[in-house]
Structure 1
């Protein structure tokens, strides 16, 4: 497979979401299979409105699971049963072979879930970096969750702003002498939208068909048409499986299989 080298030896960046993007389902909901009847108790469900974020709510669920005797091994085994969206394994494997492409996973899931699932397909080493909520099992075997960072974005969850993650990553890479000629952003949900308006004319956003991201992008475009403004510079390429994205990347980078 021959790789097309971008102008000035700059690199390509693949920024990809996790839940409903790399994997079919939501890992935070999938883990409920370890609960009796797969249900969160009503008192915990009702407490969601008192938490500052979904992240805190999940922390309470993990504490409840531990009180029921759920072990770390059971959590890992549960994550291993999750299925990947068709073509996503191939997409991540492709970017590993592309000498000028980096891949970052940015997700509001957590590090235990993502690392476990990626490792189940030997994909963890194929990803340049994972930006998500840090998690670990404590000495008693309870999964503990922390927010990824603090930020000032008013539209993103309090524990993770994907726009801020991307900006910080690009700044840090530039300090290391690494710049990106194109960004390929792949996602599905509302929390994937924040970086989209800031993408450039050479960048591509891949919203999953039938999910919230594509609807938010459409509203942004309609707003621009009404105001006579260019509200989105990046090209929009909807997708329904990873093979569609892979085909696009092969054509746009000049690679041939």
Structure 2
């Protein structure tokens, strides 16, 4: 039976928030501002910046369970859950998560919503607890081999390379009749360039990925069919 593959970014794609920012917004306005200031001082919201602010959260006395509770109340639309569980139950679709969040954040949210077995794999940044301190690392360590992406992926991960590697390990692109990518961010642009004519990009309207496709898509030779969405019920539809 022919199968399809749906690749999800996580923040503002699978869920209706940014996991990195959400934890600080729930627990500490002061540290949410610190994260924003660090990002504004030349840093994108990389794992290094999030880890630095997580150290501040620990120093301020916040506990592991408070972080986990914040993740459990992060907005996740019922229509998105309905969409993915219906497709999963039909058995014709594989799911892959490709995210710049981290293992603890994503794992906690999926477990809370009983979706631990949804994704064949979650490709993201590593994270682990040391007592009440959450340590967040990089998918590509700073002291190891680096990717050579030229279209603007973050230093810690090239999503295009990650998608190519996953497909190569699972029968190649031809193993799937159609590949669908659901994303919103600028670093979701690269994997779209690796996809075929007839594949589909479900792009969240008026977010960074939408802008990049309008400004750079034709020049970079994007082949996928682009479908815009703004709310999860549109994805379900």
**After TM superposition, is the score higher than 0.5?**
yes
Residue 221 (structure 1) shift: 4.4
Task: Tell me the CA shift for residue 41 of structure 1.
Answer: 6.3
- 1:86 Cα deviation from its structure 2 partner: 5.0
SS of alignment partner, residue 29 of structure 1:
helix
Per the alignment, residue 168 of structure 2 pairs with 171
The reply on whether 1:143 has 2:134 as its aligned counterpart is yes
State yes or no: 1:32 paired with 2:28.
no
Q: RMSD of aligned C-alpha atoms?
A: 2.5
Asked if the contact 1:96/1:127 (under 8 Å) is kept, the reply is: no
Are residues 89 and 62 of structure 1, via their aligned partners in 2, closer, same or farther at CA, if it must alter by over 3 Å?
A: same
**Could you tell me how far 1:172 is from its partner in structure 2?**
0.6
User: Structure 1 126/52 Cα, relative in aligned 2: closer, same or farther at 3 Å?
Assistant: closer
1:120 to 112, 115, 124: 112
Q: What residue ranges of structure 2 are gaps of 5+ in the alignment? A: 141-145
Match of 1:159 among 144, 156, 160: 156
User: Match for residue 189 of structure 1?
Assistant: 185
Residue of 187, 196, 199 corresponding to 2:195: 199
Q: Secondary structure at the match of 2:58?
A: helix
Paired residue for 2:87? 95
Structure 2 CA distance for aligned equivalents of residues 195 and 43 of structure 1 = 27
Question: What is the TM-score when the length of structure 1 is the normalising length?
Answer: 0.81
Residue of structure 1 equivalent to 2:230: 240
Give the unaligned 5+ runs of structure 1.
225-230, 248-257
Paired positions, count: 231
Q: In 2, Cα distance between the equivalents of 1:53 and 1:39?
A: 14
In our comparison, the structure showing a higher alpha carbon Rg is: 1
Match of 2:69, SS state, is helix
SS of alignment partner, residue 228 of structure 2: coil
Superposed CA deviations along residues 88-110 of structure 1, whole A, max 9, x for unmatched, are 11122123113221001111011
Residues 21 and 32 in structure 2, CA contact (< 8 A), matched pair in contact too: no
Q: Residues 83-139 of structure 1: CA distance to partner in whole angstroms, max 9, x if unpaired? A: 11452111221231132210011110111111111111111212211111011101x
* Whole-angstrom CA distance in 1 between matches of 2:51 and 2:96: 25
